[in-house]
């Protein structure tokens, strides 16, 4: 039976280059979120703008820029912005968190275009790095003028299997 775990965060963006305030509302355990999943399980991360920022900010595009998705053959990853732009939902579904490619094999796959086979090794944990994407609303920029986006610091998520290896 698949399980879905939900994690809620409140986000206070910054336009000054300072780190955004990203506060976990439940299961707080520091800066990185460590999630243990069985194959088939799903984690849902919901980032909601702080109430006092909802009139002047909104998440935009798909709400995230994934800068590193280590071992991404082992999970499905998606993000979606709410219709009103005040929340972005990141979904991580474990496909197979038991084995992964070696770093040498990953480098070889990236540098050599021909088909190849690789022997997988045991996966300890995988790190997903991403940034939240937002814009300030109510600006008076011209419709064809420069488009400005603001990116959070990395709210890093680490996933690992609960299965014994």
Per residue in 9-37, pLDDT tens? 999 999 998 999 999 886 554 556 888 88
Q: Which of 42, 46, 44 is nearest to 95 (CA)?
A: 42
Residue 132 falls within a domain, yes or no? yes
Number of domains in the chain: 1
Residue 32 falls within a domain, yes or no? yes
Q: Which pTM value belongs to this model?
A: 0.85
pLDDT at residue 52 is higher than 80: yes
Residue 54 falls within a domain, yes or no? yes
Residue 16 falls within a domain, yes or no? yes
Assigned token pair, 118: 């690789």
Structural domain including 130 reads 4-98+124-158
CATH of the domain at 92: 2.60.40.420
Q: Which percentage of the chain shows pLDDT scores above 90? A: 45
State the Cα–Cα distance between residues 156 and 84, nearest whole angstrom.
Answer: 25
Residue 17 falls within a domain, yes or no? yes
Residue 119 falls within a domain, yes or no? no
130 touches 154 (CB < 8 A):
yes
Residue 91 falls within a domain, yes or no? yes
Average pLDDT, the chain: 86
Pairing of strands 87-94, 42-49: antiparallel
Residue 106 falls within a domain, yes or no? no
Mean per-residue pLDDT, 44-67: 95
| DSSP H or E run through 118 | none
Give me the sign of the Cα torsion angle 78, 84, 85, 86. negative
| DSSP H or E run through 8 | strand 4-12
CA-CA-CA-CA dihedral for 160, 72, 96, 46, to nearest 10: 60
């Amino acid at each position: 039976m698949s399980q879905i775990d939900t994690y809620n965060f409140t986000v206070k963006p910054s336009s000054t280059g300072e780190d955004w305030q990203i506060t976990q509302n439940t299961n707080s355990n520091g800066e990185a979120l460590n999630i243990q999943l069985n194959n088939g399980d799903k984690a849902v991360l919901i980032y909601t703008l702080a109430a006092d920022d909802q009139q002047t900010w909104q998440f935009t595009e798909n709400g995230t820029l994934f800068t590193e998705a280590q071992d991404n053959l082992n999970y499905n990853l998606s993000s979606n912005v709410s219709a009103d732009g005040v929340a972005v939902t990141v979904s991580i579904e474990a496909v197979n968190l038991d084995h992964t490619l070696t770093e040498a094999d990953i480098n070889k796959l990236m540098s050599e275009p021909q088909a190849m086979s690789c022997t997988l090794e045991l996966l300890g944990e995988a790190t997903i790095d991403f940034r939240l994407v937002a814009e300030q609303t109510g600006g008076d920029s011209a419709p064809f003028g420069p488009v400005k986006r603001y990116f959070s610091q990395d709210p890093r998520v680490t996933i690992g299997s609960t299965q014994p290896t």
